[in-house]
Amino acid sequence: MRPSGRATNEMRTVTIEPRFSRHAEGSCLIKCGDTHVICTASVDEKVPPFMRNSGLGWVTAEYGMLPRATHTRMRREAKNAQSGRTQEIQRLIGRSLRAGVDRVALGERQITVDCDVIQADGGTRCAAITGGWVALKLAVSQLMKSGLIITDPLVEPVSAVSCGIYAGQEVVDLDYPEDSDAGVDGNFILTGGKLVEVQMSAEGATFTRDQMNGLLDLAENATAQLREMQLAAVA
Amino acid sequence: MRPSGRATNEMRTVTIEPRFSRHAEGSCLIKCGDTHVICTASVDEKVPPFMRNSGLGWVTAEYGMLPRATHTRMRREAKNAQSGRTQEIQRLIGRSLRAGVDRVALGERQITVDCDVIQADGGTRCAAITGGWVALKLAVSQLMKSGLIITDPLVEPVSAVSCGIYAGQEVVDLDYPEDSDAGVDGNFILTGGKLVEVQMSAEGATFTRDQMNGLLDLAENATAQLREMQLAAVA
Amino acid sequence: MRPSGRATNEMRTVTIEPRFSRHAEGSCLIKCGDTHVICTASVDEKVPPFMRNSGLGWVTAEYGMLPRATHTRMRREAKNAQSGRTQEIQRLIGRSLRAGVDRVALGERQITVDCDVIQADGGTRCAAITGGWVALKLAVSQLMKSGLIITDPLVEPVSAVSCGIYAGQEVVDLDYPEDSDAGVDGNFILTGGKLVEVQMSAEGATFTRDQMNGLLDLAENATAQLREMQLAAVA
Amino acid sequence: MRPSGRATNEMRTVTIEPRFSRHAEGSCLIKCGDTHVICTASVDEKVPPFMRNSGLGWVTAEYGMLPRATHTRMRREAKNAQSGRTQEIQRLIGRSLRAGVDRVALGERQITVDCDVIQADGGTRCAAITGGWVALKLAVSQLMKSGLIITDPLVEPVSAVSCGIYAGQEVVDLDYPEDSDAGVDGNFILTGGKLVEVQMSAEGATFTRDQMNGLLDLAENATAQLREMQLAAVA
Amino acid sequence: MRPSGRATNEMRTVTIEPRFSRHAEGSCLIKCGDTHVICTASVDEKVPPFMRNSGLGWVTAEYGMLPRATHTRMRREAKNAQSGRTQEIQRLIGRSLRAGVDRVALGERQITVDCDVIQADGGTRCAAITGGWVALKLAVSQLMKSGLIITDPLVEPVSAVSCGIYAGQEVVDLDYPEDSDAGVDGNFILTGGKLVEVQMSAEGATFTRDQMNGLLDLAENATAQLREMQLAAVA
Amino acid sequence: MRPSGRATNEMRTVTIEPRFSRHAEGSCLIKCGDTHVICTASVDEKVPPFMRNSGLGWVTAEYGMLPRATHTRMRREAKNAQSGRTQEIQRLIGRSLRAGVDRVALGERQITVDCDVIQADGGTRCAAITGGWVALKLAVSQLMKSGLIITDPLVEPVSAVSCGIYAGQEVVDLDYPEDSDAGVDGNFILTGGKLVEVQMSAEGATFTRDQMNGLLDLAENATAQLREMQLAAVA
């Protein structure tokens, strides 16, 4: 029995409000239950030094939390002084989004996706990837409208969900009370029905290949639903 | 003629949404035109070392901006590595809010007010003070309900507005286009009709005592209006 | 009654020793009672990147204190790791000095004014501005002698004094014992009889417009005296 | 065809030299082909503040590289200023080793496992986990000999290997030339035949569940071999 | 022929102005030609953690330069972010001063000697040691007057001078033009006629034992003169 | 009587294993008793900005210790955040090695010598200089073989040894137990029989010129032996 009363394969209510920010080229506010994340995509016509004259584009991500997004207040972090956890998350977001980008079609420019959690209740990195793709797509659409990009470099949504083993059962989309208690949890990122990234981790525990396959089934099903919401948001 | 078409003594539309955050003891979302700030108040039963056993409470503030709250993306900042501008702003917010606090009545505890700008269009520090007082008041109300505080330490709202000289005219509540162009601008913080803080500054220019008195008239009038909205939000 | 026995409108003894440093293009040692500040102006023919090819000059300031300038020893600070207080002070010094500079006449070069407090007894930032202008003027005079500048970009001295409400009375040029006890204090920077910057602040208190006008009267009178001393020092 | 001529399921030659360091409580030098890592385990009878009086032990890890362990020289890193990559690796090492520790049996003390790469040719984090377990076990054995620990908290070795898809084929234990070219790669950590951690990542690519199962088969086989070498080294 | 016209064994004019600072327990301004250093000694009744309950005192030093003490302006430095050169100098000053301290007689307290160069023309670290001893002695004298110390822990002055090989000749007390050109230079610290520290260094050159003995002769003679001035200053 | 039973003029067993690292242009592992240091020389065809277009080469050094090279574990350090001790050591290594380099013959390129202590038992900085020269020489030989350098810029080895006064006796090559107890110790760097650098220091003690001469005799003898081993290693 899950604390929220959800079925094992039942996600929380997800809403995506596109064009949330006035200034960013692309943006949305994504809510997965009580987890709320502002995602913005900022286009920069300059790429980092190591990419210059490659003809290829670049997508990178940053992740932050307001100090009181959580139950107890946390210290602010900064670029260049982020915790290991924060860096790991933003590297994951960037890598996942790049998996869905045709970097030749994007052209030699950089898009930075900022994912700022304004309220947290578990699953923030997955919400950030799912919402981040929406922001990215809206920024790219604007570049296409203005003729700076000809071929769409973003064909399929990149969608992410957490799954884990809670109270001996495989469950999807863990909220904070489940996340705190799960012996095994993982993040699953898919695009077009295929895997992009799998991260499973069992602090002080172990898991079998059968359990792993059960989690993959849940993830495939959930990300298919997220994909529809992402496409609706950018339509 | 102001770019927004407002009269010289006309503020932008202000709305205050109290209890915006699920986790914080007090919170609001304040919107002054296109300037949007999330304010949260976090209660900590411990005070900083220099206040221990004084019997007095403490109120402090932190100020931040999402990277894409502005027209162009800005780098993230962190506690202990903030720009001079950010530090100056959060010192001002903390000092202003403390002017309206009876620190004996508050008792030996600390309240941290976080003001995070999610969209900026001028006047962010004043919006942060005005909204910060609302968050602070709601947190204190909760402490009073739970019996931890007996006498209300926050009698009068602390309200803030910017005024400046734009195109030769004294105007209230400058938005970003005005702020960028004004030769003289200032921030005026009042409580109960009296002055708490005045900061006027003229980069590459000067101003007369007559002009200064004109700006004070505008500020007295505008903060009286803000006071009513603050009281309504915490009612 | 002031601790020093001074009248409410009486400044401390001020002396300015010009050309104190052998290496700097302009310099002085300013003493306001027991507050002693070394001011040097360093000319750099390069401007910061954001000013290049603008044809405009730039004046900036840094402020420091020897560790034992104060009653108890303080830690050393550094460029890029300064306290909020130090940054606020040096931003104020720079902004105030720039108010008296014709940046077109200065030409595309930068002058850095370093103000280092070797002994502190209240009012260090005001002494730094008053002495900093002398150092700046001497550096500019040298540039004019060498023909690098044709029109004098510094016509009127920029002068600064602190005023506050001590024991219920409006007083000028607060020393450390007064400063520690004053409920309201402020810094007033003027040039050519007009205001450049006003900073009034009341930690845990408030003040009326009448009191504010009383402090402005004191400041106008004191800065007129400082102006004469500055002109004598650079003659 | 692999650049080294190895079969797809063939690891590089692995040697483990236990007790490599004179000072550490446990240590080894592990060589996986041209990847050489010094692992030391340092016992500290104090635990971090958040664990005090819990009765539980703690195992943590740090990871470093000599500047010229790589083809081109890299900058030195430090505690508190490590790159995201380094932090991610050392978090993985610590988490993996803890999966094999009975923290009650360990008792309230901390063991820090330092893994320093003196020569790198791919697979350094997996070598660090495999060698780190040997260092950890030797340190624990010494604590058991001296009677400080009664029940062995480390029953089964924790073993790690990288697997990936190189030139369309699933291969085990990637060396640097393979690692640079692989579209998909992952790290697999097992203990007692069960999974502890799985990290698969496809930068700019995707993979199927069939491919994922192929890699898991390779990893199960390779870690079984590593387990025997670890047990021999600590015998 | 030396640029200054001095004989090879001739020091610059040295003056020591004791009790230069109003706040410090001991202080002086030492001038060695155009090298001017403010030295202050600050007494702290607490010792660093590693010395607690040892019954022994501690003397430490910090060294700084005003940004425009030199021909061209230098960046400010800070505690914890000092250049290698600065740290090397302040470690030398502290070590040298401790060589002349009876740490049992000093008792469990710490004295920090700050040496701040307000104008530099070579030999700043030696001036800092010589002046630092004077500040230290004056602080100790005050502790003896107040009865906190019974036996004088500072019997003999610690004196320092630089010597080097300039234009093939052994010379004493190098000024900046000599220092920039010398192939070999060194610092010699003596107390009571004996050596405390010798640092000789030849960037891109070498020197013989005969030359080394010549420099030692110069140093013995010069420090004997400095000793008399130090004793006069503290009389 | 020395703790190790060695005669006063007897060094520990020294071995030098050249070409220890697969990737570096030059390298060795030097062992002086239980002090083990990996030295690598990395060639960079770019020089630092201040040397550009000078036609001169540059040699610099970095020094590090694995956290558990010592009896108790030490924190990791980083470039730009190293302790004063570490910076002092690496400045010494760089300066000493440069004394033996013909910078014109080297040509406009930089060689960085990294000295990483993997096990420490006293005398690490001297082992680093002696071994560092071997790594440097091997890197230069490779540059000569490839025709990038014509004239050998490294004619004579630079060799270093520590000497000190232990239990009243002058002894050579102090190990850790001696080093901890010695009242006076020093480092002596020689090349071609001449002195390059002498650093003698007496914390809380003094020494005579006779004692200093005794230590120089020991150092001359020991470095002559080291020179032979260095030449053999690079043959």
Flag whether residue B205 sits within 8 Å of chain C, measured between CB atoms: yes
Average pLDDT (E186-200) is: 95
pLDDT in tens, D1-35: 899 999 999 999 999 999 999 999 999 999 999 99
pLDDT of residue E205: 82
With an 8 Å Cβ cutoff, are D198 and A200 in contact?
yes
pLDDT in tens, D223-234: 999 999 999 999
Residues in Cβ contact with D45 at an 8 Å cutoff, skipping those fewer than 6 apart: D109
Which residue of C196, C210, C217, C218 is the best one to mutate when testing the B interface, meaning the one whose CB has the most B CBs within 10 A? Answer: C196
pLDDT of residue B203: 74
Is pLDDT above 80 for E224? yes
> What element of type H or E holds E25?
none
Q: Is the ipTM of this complex over 0.85?
A: yes
Q: Where are the beta strands (DSSP E) in A45-193?
A: 58-65, 110-119, 158-166, 169-172, 184-191
pLDDT of residue A82: 65
* Residue from the list D78, D112, D121 with its beta carbon closest to the beta carbon of F73: D112
Chain F residue nearest residue E58, CA to CA: F204
* Residue from the list C84, C192, C198 with its beta carbon closest to the beta carbon of B198: C198
* Residue from the list E23, E38, E116 with its beta carbon closest to the beta carbon of C70: E23
Dihedral sign computed on CA atoms, order F202, E38, E220, E233:
negative
Among D198, D214, D202, which Cα is nearest to A190's? D202
Q: 129-188 in F: which are within 8 Å (CB) of E? A: 186
pLDDT in tens, B30-60: 999 999 999 999 999 988 888 888 999 999 9
Residues in Cβ contact with F112 at an 8 Å cutoff, skipping those fewer than 6 apart: D67, D73, F41, F42, F44, F59, F60, F61, F62
Gap from B57 CA to chain A (nearest CA, Å):
18
Which residue of E68, E87, E109 is the best one to mutate when testing the C interface, meaning the one whose CB has the most C CBs within 10 A? Answer: E68
Among C170, C94, C103, which Cα is nearest to C132's? C94
Among F113, F117, F140, which Cα is nearest to F127's? F117
Sites in chain F below the pLDDT cut of 50: none
Instruction: Give the number of other CB atoms < 10 A from CB of residue B74.
Output: 15
Is pLDDT above 80 for C82? no
Chain F residue nearest residue D112, CA to CA: F73
A177-184 long-range contacts, CB within 8 A, separation 24+: A177/A3, A177/A4, A177/A122, A178/A2, A178/A3, A178/A122, A179/A122, A179/A123, A184/A211
Flag whether residue F34 sits within 8 Å of chain D, measured between CB atoms: yes
Higher pLDDT, E76 or F161: F161
With an 8 Å Cβ cutoff, are C114 and E62 in contact?
no
pLDDT of residue A85: 87
* Residue from the list B27, B66, B70 with its beta carbon closest to the beta carbon of A116: B66
Distance of alpha carbon B226 from alpha carbon B160, whole angstroms: 8
Higher pLDDT, E204 or D98: D98
Residue E53 dihedral angles phi and psi, to the nearest 5°: 65, 25
pTM (predicted TM-score): 0.88
pLDDT of residue B47: 86
Q: Identity (one letter) of the amino acid at F205?
A: A
Among F142, F135, F140, F129, which Cα is nearest to F21's? F135
Average pLDDT (D56-68) is: 95
> Half-sphere exposure of residue C234, counting CA atoms within 13 Å on the CB side?
24
Chain C residue nearest residue B209, CA to CA: C195
With an 8 Å Cβ cutoff, are D206 and A194 in contact?
yes
pLDDT of residue C81: 53
**pLDDT grade, residue E81 (50/70/90)?**
low
Instruction: Say how many Å lie between the first and final Cα of chain E, rounded.
Output: 37
Tokens 């919401």, residue?
A229
Q: Chain B partners of A116 at a C-beta cutoff of 8 Å?
A: 66-67, 118
Contact assessment for residue C118 and residue C66, using Cβ atoms and an 8 Å cutoff: yes
Q: At what angle do helices B84-99 and C84-99 cross, to 10 degrees?
A: 110
Distance of alpha carbon E183 from alpha carbon E166, whole angstroms: 7
With an 8 Å Cβ cutoff, are A118 and B38 in contact?
yes
**pLDDT grade, residue C77 (50/70/90)?**
confident
pLDDT in tens, C27-46: 999 999 999 999 999 999 98
Average pLDDT (E13-40) is: 97
A16-23 long-range contacts, CB within 8 A, separation 24+: A16/A130, A16/A131, A16/A134, A16/A229, A16/A230, A16/A232, A16/A233, A18/A134, A18/A138, A18/A233, A18/A234, A19/A138, A21/B68, A21/B69, A21/B118, A21/B119, A22/B34, A22/B119, A23/B68, A23/B69, A23/B70, A23/B71, A23/B119
Distance of alpha carbon A106 from alpha carbon D173, whole angstroms: 34
Whole-number average pLDDT of chain D: 94
With an 8 Å Cβ cutoff, are B199 and C203 in contact?
no
With an 8 Å Cβ cutoff, are D192 and A206 in contact?
yes
DSSP state at residue B122: S
Contact assessment for residue B219 and residue B161, using Cβ atoms and an 8 Å cutoff: yes
Q: Chain D partners of A194 at a C-beta cutoff of 8 Å?
A: 206-208
With an 8 Å Cβ cutoff, are C40 and E67 in contact?
yes
Which residue of C163, C201, C208 is the best one to mutate when testing the B interface, meaning the one whose CB has the most B CBs within 10 A? Answer: C201
Residues in Cβ contact with E200 at an 8 Å cutoff, skipping those fewer than 6 apart: E184, E185, E186, E207, E212, E215, F195, F197, F198, F199
> Half-sphere exposure of residue D234, counting CA atoms within 13 Å on the CB side?
24
Chain D residue nearest residue F74, CA to CA: D42
Is pLDDT above 80 for C189? yes
Which residue of D45, D70, D76, D114 is the best one to mutate when testing the F interface, meaning the one whose CB has the most F CBs within 10 A? Answer: D76
**pLDDT grade, residue D83 (50/70/90)?**
confident
Chain B residue nearest residue C81, CA to CA: B81
* Residue from the list B67, B112, B119 with its beta carbon closest to the beta carbon of A114: B67
Q: 97-126 in B: which are within 8 Å (CB) of C? A: 98-99, 101, 103
Tell me which fold the domain E14-234 belongs to: Ribosomal Protein S5; domain 2 (3.30.230)
Which residue of E196, E208, E210, E218 is the best one to mutate when testing the F interface, meaning the one whose CB has the most F CBs within 10 A? Answer: E196
pLDDT of residue D75: 85
Instruction: Give the number of other CB atoms < 10 A from CB of residue C25.
Output: 21
Whole-number average pLDDT of chain E: 94
Chains contacting A (3+ CB pairs below 8 angstroms): B, D
- Whether chain A lies against chain B with 3 or more Cβ pairs closer than 8 A is yes
Chain D residue nearest residue F81, CA to CA: D78
Q: How far, in Å, are A70, A118, A126, B113, D155 from residue A82 at the CA level?
A: 17, 18, 19, 22, 36
DSSP state at residue C31: E
With an 8 Å Cβ cutoff, are C195 and B192 in contact?
no
pLDDT of residue B82: 65
With an 8 Å Cβ cutoff, are A99 and D206 in contact?
yes
Q: Identity (one letter) of the amino acid at B76?
A: R
pLDDT of residue D130: 98
Residues in Cβ contact with A96 at an 8 Å cutoff, skipping those fewer than 6 apart: A129, A158, A160, A189, A196, A197
**pLDDT grade, residue B219 (50/70/90)?**
very high
Distance of alpha carbon C177 from alpha carbon A166, whole angstroms: 64
Distance of alpha carbon F13 from alpha carbon F32, whole angstroms: 6
Among F178, F201, F230, which Cα is nearest to E200's? F201
Average pLDDT (A75-84) is: 67
* Residue from the list E85, E198, E203 with its beta carbon closest to the beta carbon of F200: E198
Distance of alpha carbon A16 from alpha carbon A228, whole angstroms: 11
Chains contacting F (3+ CB pairs below 8 angstroms): D, E
Residue E19 dihedral angles phi and psi, to the nearest 5°: 55, 50
Average pLDDT (E51-63) is: 92
pLDDT in tens, D32-41: 999 999 999 9
Gap from D201 CA to chain A (nearest CA, Å):
4
- Domain residue ranges of chain F, discontinuous segments joined by +: 14-234
DSSP state at residue E51: G
Chain A residue nearest residue D199, CA to CA: A199
Among C9, C187, C214, which Cα is nearest to B198's? C187
DSSP state at residue F33: T
pLDDT in tens, B63-109: 999 999 999 999 887 555 567 889 899 999 999 999 999 999 999 99
pLDDT of residue C46: 86
* Residue from the list D69, D116, D119 with its beta carbon closest to the beta carbon of F66: D116
- Whether chain D lies against chain A with 3 or more Cβ pairs closer than 8 A is yes
With an 8 Å Cβ cutoff, are C116 and E27 in contact?
no
Which residue of B73, B86, B114 is the best one to mutate when testing the A interface, meaning the one whose CB has the most A CBs within 10 A? Answer: B73
Gap from F166 CA to chain E (nearest CA, Å):
16
Chain D residue nearest residue F41, CA to CA: D68
pLDDT of residue E4: 95
Distance of alpha carbon A64 from alpha carbon A75, whole angstroms: 11
* Residue from the list A88, A191, A197 with its beta carbon closest to the beta carbon of D84: A88
Distance of alpha carbon E19 from alpha carbon E29, whole angstroms: 8
Cβ pairs bridging D and F (under 8 Å): 97
pLDDT in tens, E109-151: 999 999 999 999 999 999 999 999 999 999 999 999 999 999 9
Gap from F204 CA to chain E (nearest CA, Å):
4
Length of chain A equals 235
Gap from E207 CA to chain F (nearest CA, Å):
5
Distance of alpha carbon D167 from alpha carbon D183, whole angstroms: 9
Distance of alpha carbon F209 from alpha carbon E195, whole angstroms: 8
